[in-house]
Structure 1
Protein backbone atom coordinates (compact mmCIF):
# COMPACT_ATOMS: atom_id res chain seq x y z
CA UNK A 1 0.00 0.00 0.00
CA UNK A 2 1.15 3.52 -0.73
CA UNK A 3 0.90 6.24 1.88
CA UNK A 4 1.59 9.89 1.13
CA UNK A 5 3.30 11.97 3.80
CA UNK A 6 2.93 15.74 3.55
CA UNK A 7 5.41 17.62 5.76
CA UNK A 8 5.05 21.37 6.21
CA UNK A 9 6.64 24.01 8.42
CA UNK A 10 4.49 24.85 11.44
CA UNK A 11 2.49 28.06 11.06
CA UNK A 12 4.51 29.91 13.72
CA UNK A 13 7.90 28.92 12.22
CA UNK A 14 9.62 31.16 9.68
CA UNK A 15 9.53 29.43 6.29
CA UNK A 16 12.63 30.83 4.59
CA UNK A 17 12.14 28.75 1.42
CA UNK A 18 8.55 29.90 1.12
CA UNK A 19 9.61 33.50 1.66
CA UNK A 20 12.29 33.21 -1.04
CA UNK A 21 9.79 31.79 -3.55
CA UNK A 22 7.24 34.46 -2.65
CA UNK A 23 9.82 37.24 -3.01
CA UNK A 24 10.99 35.95 -6.40
CA UNK A 25 7.45 35.62 -7.72
CA UNK A 26 6.52 39.13 -6.56
CA UNK A 27 9.72 40.48 -8.14
CA UNK A 28 8.52 39.03 -11.45
CA UNK A 29 5.08 40.60 -11.11
CA UNK A 30 3.20 37.55 -9.86
CA UNK A 31 0.68 38.42 -7.17
CA UNK A 32 -0.02 35.97 -4.39
CA UNK A 33 -1.13 36.09 -0.79
CA UNK A 34 1.57 33.76 0.51
CA UNK A 35 3.73 30.75 -0.14
CA UNK A 36 4.87 27.90 2.10
CA UNK A 37 7.31 25.21 0.98
CA UNK A 38 7.19 21.67 2.34
CA UNK A 39 7.83 18.19 1.08
CA UNK A 40 5.82 15.20 -0.08
CA UNK A 41 7.07 11.65 0.49
CA UNK A 42 5.40 8.56 -0.93
CA UNK A 43 5.97 5.40 1.10
CA UNK A 44 5.24 1.94 -0.25
CA UNK A 45 4.40 -0.16 2.80
CA UNK A 46 3.83 -3.88 3.25
CA UNK A 47 0.60 -4.04 5.26
CA UNK A 48 -2.48 -6.26 5.44
CA UNK A 49 -4.94 -3.37 5.81
CA UNK A 50 -5.25 0.43 5.71
CA UNK A 51 -4.95 0.85 9.47
CA UNK A 52 -1.66 -1.07 9.58
CA UNK A 53 -0.30 0.90 6.62
CA UNK A 54 -1.14 4.21 8.31
CA UNK A 55 0.30 3.05 11.63
CA UNK A 56 3.57 2.01 9.98
CA UNK A 57 3.72 5.26 8.00
CA UNK A 58 3.20 7.27 11.19
CA UNK A 59 5.99 5.35 12.92
CA UNK A 60 8.38 5.94 10.00
CA UNK A 61 7.43 9.61 9.73
CA UNK A 62 7.91 10.30 13.42
CA UNK A 63 11.21 8.39 13.42
CA UNK A 64 12.94 10.12 10.53
CA UNK A 65 10.84 12.18 8.10
CA UNK A 66 9.92 15.25 10.11
CA UNK A 67 11.17 17.47 12.92
CA UNK A 68 8.38 17.89 15.51
CA UNK A 69 9.84 21.17 16.75
CA UNK A 70 9.37 22.99 13.45
CA UNK A 71 7.18 20.79 11.21
CA UNK A 72 3.79 19.11 11.13
CA UNK A 73 2.68 16.24 8.93
CA UNK A 74 -0.40 14.63 7.40
CA UNK A 75 -0.79 11.07 6.12
CA UNK A 76 -3.08 9.95 3.32
CA UNK A 77 -3.58 6.61 1.62
CA UNK A 78 -2.70 6.71 -2.07
CA UNK A 79 -4.76 4.80 -4.62
Structure 2
Protein backbone atom coordinates (compact mmCIF):
# COMPACT_ATOMS: atom_id res chain seq x y z
CA UNK A 1 0.00 0.00 0.00
CA UNK A 2 1.27 3.46 -0.89
CA UNK A 3 0.19 6.51 1.11
CA UNK A 4 0.29 9.96 -0.40
CA UNK A 5 -0.65 13.50 0.53
CA UNK A 6 -2.00 15.81 -2.17
CA UNK A 7 -2.04 19.55 -1.48
CA UNK A 8 -4.15 21.79 -3.70
CA UNK A 9 -3.77 25.58 -3.59
CA UNK A 10 -4.94 28.49 -5.67
CA UNK A 11 -2.45 29.79 -8.23
CA UNK A 12 -0.78 33.12 -7.55
CA UNK A 13 -2.90 35.94 -8.90
CA UNK A 14 -6.20 34.11 -8.34
CA UNK A 15 -8.41 35.92 -5.85
CA UNK A 16 -8.92 34.03 -2.59
CA UNK A 17 -11.99 35.44 -0.81
CA UNK A 18 -11.96 32.67 1.80
CA UNK A 19 -8.33 33.42 2.61
CA UNK A 20 -9.20 37.11 2.96
CA UNK A 21 -12.09 36.26 5.30
CA UNK A 22 -9.77 34.10 7.43
CA UNK A 23 -7.20 36.90 7.49
CA UNK A 24 -9.83 39.36 8.71
CA UNK A 25 -11.14 36.94 11.33
CA UNK A 26 -7.65 36.32 12.69
CA UNK A 27 -7.16 40.08 13.06
CA UNK A 28 -10.51 40.39 14.81
CA UNK A 29 -9.44 37.65 17.24
CA UNK A 30 -6.38 39.67 18.18
CA UNK A 31 -3.74 37.93 16.08
CA UNK A 32 -1.79 40.98 14.96
CA UNK A 33 0.84 40.87 12.26
CA UNK A 34 -0.84 38.23 10.11
CA UNK A 35 0.02 38.99 6.50
CA UNK A 36 -1.64 37.32 3.57
CA UNK A 37 -3.64 34.14 4.15
CA UNK A 38 -4.29 31.67 1.32
CA UNK A 39 -6.46 28.62 1.85
CA UNK A 40 -6.22 25.23 0.18
CA UNK A 41 -7.19 21.57 0.40
CA UNK A 42 -5.32 18.47 1.56
CA UNK A 43 -6.16 14.90 0.52
CA UNK A 44 -4.61 11.83 2.15
CA UNK A 45 -4.89 8.94 -0.29
CA UNK A 46 -3.97 5.25 0.08
CA UNK A 47 -3.44 3.22 -3.09
CA UNK A 48 -3.21 -0.55 -2.99
CA UNK A 49 -1.65 -2.96 -5.44
CA UNK A 50 0.65 -0.65 -7.37
CA UNK A 51 4.29 0.36 -7.42
CA UNK A 52 5.55 3.88 -6.72
CA UNK A 53 5.69 4.92 -10.39
CA UNK A 54 2.19 3.59 -11.01
CA UNK A 55 0.92 5.32 -7.88
CA UNK A 56 2.42 8.65 -8.97
CA UNK A 57 0.78 8.33 -12.38
CA UNK A 58 -2.59 7.45 -10.82
CA UNK A 59 -2.36 10.31 -8.31
CA UNK A 60 -1.52 12.80 -11.05
CA UNK A 61 -4.50 11.59 -13.08
CA UNK A 62 -6.75 11.96 -10.00
CA UNK A 63 -5.61 15.56 -9.60
CA UNK A 64 -6.00 16.40 -13.27
CA UNK A 65 -9.47 14.85 -13.54
CA UNK A 66 -11.10 15.57 -10.18
CA UNK A 67 -9.15 16.87 -7.19
CA UNK A 68 -7.78 20.11 -8.68
CA UNK A 69 -9.16 22.66 -11.09
CA UNK A 70 -5.91 23.09 -12.98
CA UNK A 71 -7.08 26.34 -14.56
CA UNK A 72 -6.92 28.13 -11.21
CA UNK A 73 -5.22 25.64 -8.85
CA UNK A 74 -1.81 24.06 -8.41
CA UNK A 75 -1.27 20.71 -6.77
CA UNK A 76 1.64 18.83 -5.25
CA UNK A 77 1.95 15.15 -4.47
CA UNK A 78 4.08 13.86 -1.59
CA UNK A 79 4.81 10.18 -1.13
CA UNK A 80 6.92 9.60 1.99
TM-score, normalised by the number of residues in structure 2: 0.88
Distance (whole Å) between structure 1 residues aligned to residue 76 and residue 49 of structure 2: 19
Deviation at 1:48, TM superposition (A): 3.2
Deviation at 1:25, TM superposition (A): 0.6
The match for 2:6 is 5
**Is the CA contact (8 Å cut-off) linking 1:47 and 1:53 kept in structure 2?**
no
The match for 1:77 is 79
The match for 1:53 is 55
Distance (whole Å) between structure 2 residues aligned to residue 49 and residue 9 of structure 1: 30
3-state SS in 1 of match to 2:66: helix
* C-alpha RMSD of matched pairs (Å): 1.2
Distance (whole Å) between structure 2 residues aligned to residue 66 and residue 48 of structure 1: 22
The match for 2:23 is 22
Number of matched residues?
Answer: 78
TM-score, normalised by the number of residues in structure 1: 0.89
Distance (whole Å) between structure 1 residues aligned to residue 49 and residue 61 of structure 2: 13
